[in-house]
Structure 1
Amino acid sequence: MVTHCTPMGRTQAGPYSPHAIVISFLAAVLHKKGTREDIENNMPEFLLRRMKKEPHCIAKKIFLIVAPLSVLYNWKDELDTWGYFRVTVLHGSKKDSELIRVKQRKCEIALTTYETLRLCLEELNSLEWSAVIVDEAHRIKNPKAKVTEIMKALKCKVRIGLTGTILQNNMKELWCVMDWAVPGLLGSRTHFKKQFSDRVEHGQRHTATKRELATGRKAMQTLAKKMSGWFLRRTKTLIQDQLPKKEDRMVYCSLTDFQKAVYQTVLETEDVALILQSSQPCTCSSGRKRRNCCYKTNSRGETVRTLYLSYLTVLQKVSNHAALLQAASTSRHQETLIKRICDQVFSRFPDFVQKSKDAAFETLSDPKYSGKMKVLQQLLNHFRKNRDKVLLFSFSTKLLDVLQQYCMASGLDYRRLDGNTKSEERLKIVKEFNSTQDVNICLVSTM
């Protein structure tokens, strides 16, 4: 099991990255030396025939790499860049034909996704894999999950897992991942709970006694010793001197005058007044709070709790960009509610509503409707002068749409990566951003 917290885990094969470790391992096991023989062995068969060379010999060892679709082609690119491997991708429309090549042992490494593995488990189990390497191995954290069952059903004696977060919620997840990688190493789940997780967790409580603290530390030491031969951890301290200096800056973005007016209008609605007064004693002198007595709902029967969450979303949208209020919401109920709020709020701003309908492009990209856009405009101008590369992250894809509109309106050359970007396109976009001088901005969704 290889764990990492280096900043280049999935973006480039640095000397200590998981990619580099795996590629080095595969190169050694497959006896790759970078010689003419390796180069010819990687050539298409028709070229070898033209050169009157012997066709590819049957691969003596074949390896399976399972990775999320989002990084599948990144693996392919890294393997092609740093080694002389015969690699095939078992995914998409060519999956069946490539699977035939694997069965004929015409390749040395097969790349596939978790989903494809689930669909083709029986066929993949018919092959004798030298090792299976799993990226994002923390997905195998729940013993009852389908992905865990599939991974454990995959027949292979040598299993290698890569993850940056082997522990996310509790120590039982650690047991599940390690039990996949090295079955039986940490005993049964019940044994692990009794001997390790319970003792460690009891020792971490703020009410823990000295005895529990000592027992917890001893259990942790025993666990670390037991895993030491199977667990390789790499941290960024190994490459600290090779990394550029990191500088974090928090920039405060005040609301524009228009945003303040819209924000205040929202606060002046009857629903918000109901929310703000919900914790006060009820007017009926019952002694209970208003939200638990006579003011549980508004005139439309919507509860204070529902209104609270909805208006929180509305105010958040106003703070980001006022035009976001007019974008479609995720749920039908929220969309109806927000439409009603918009009708009520924007009745005071008819010019803005009309402009949004007539020229949504200009409205979305105009910084006067968003304090964030104003600050961003200044920052981008500064970075453009220095010819710096800029990554713009957004939790909301709708806000990413706004940023995209701004880039288009400003004539900025940009690239965009979000959940809708096809896996084949991701690598191309990253390469263009890194290598093309004119492309200085990449819009990235964190979802």
Structure 2
Amino acid sequence: MFSNAPAQSQDTLGADAGLTDIKPLQIGDKIPEELWHLPLQIVNHPDGKDTITLNDYRDKEFIILDFWATWCAPCIKELPSLLELKDSIDCKIIPLSDEPTDKIERFLTNNPMFRQSEFYKYERGSIIDKGFKRASIPHTVVIHEGKVISFTLPNLISVKKLADQAAGKSGAIPMKVELKNSKDDLLTLVLDRDKKIGLGGFSVMFGPIEGIVPGVRWEPELQTGGARFQIANYPLLSVMALATGQGHIFLRNPNRILIREKGGIRPINTAEWDWLKHTRLCYESFYPCVQTYEKATEDLKGNLLSYRNIDCRIEDVSSEVTELTRSQKTGHPKTKFCYSVGEIAFVLNQAPGRIPVSYPENLSNEQVYLGIELSSASPDMLDKLLSEQGWSKELITTREKHLIITKKD
């Protein structure tokens, strides 16, 4: 009985009362009446309304449920275009989060672009949670004429795709695929001409595939006796992290990435950093026998060179670092915007082209009272605020590990 779930609200308990079973809905399933009448809490209704039900919008051509969270960057990125659909088609968009109401309200306060839209929350373990089972977010459900017609991602929906799918054109809206839950060789079927075949094994690398959730799957012992390594829709930066096995060094720190050219080694620039973050790749390698993960990642590094003409390796490099030390302690202004020096240095080190920032380990939790949110402060402003809080900087030379990228001609 779902009514025994401890996290449910009173509204949800009432809606679940008497319900003994509900299976995860599949494409083509009708929405059960219990789901039509389940109250969903509204976080910011313009008229102060507290709840809605799907039944309130049963006459709409489409009802689109979008499961999201305030911490999910892809969810937030795709929300604006999804919400705009209501201006061009007869639909109701229902963004759903299971987070606390005050957290959603805080998110809306800090993101003015969403303040005019309605947002909703649901309870873990409720009917809607179990009826629309998912392994990740974003997760978007399209309902048409009382039936589920698509499980997809928000960026794959458009007015034309909705119309085509509703008209019976199967696959008009690409399906969301969880790589880790799929038993298919999804990646190897896309571009046969790019396969590199040898002794019964192969590798293939190509661009992004619509509908596949970014992910990695390593299967060292297939039923066939072989092994398989798959990467779906990963940024080039993350692929390099897998290939080198030391992504913690550079994934969030562009100043630990250097470019090797004919004239020597230089720091990465902003355009190159964006290229690494936004270029997405898919990759698969198949081995006819049991294989080790270390060998698979080493082959991945070789295939980056073979397919993309990119050599990447971790090397010890002498470089200049700005070390932060507190020269004097200042008074603590009364402000809620307080961050550790470690958090501030982390943000500073995400700005390409700056000298990397370090600090003594014993000062990593020292507090800096910014007076503004860390996310809204520029690097120059952070430098100024650190100085005002009694922090000084000393330029030192040290030998540290960096990612060295060589782009072959």
* TM-score clears 0.5: no
The structure with more strand, counted as a fraction of residues: 2
What TM bracket, shorter-length normalisation? under 0.3
Structure-1-length-normalised TM-score: 0.23
TM-score normalised to the size of structure 2?
Answer: 0.24
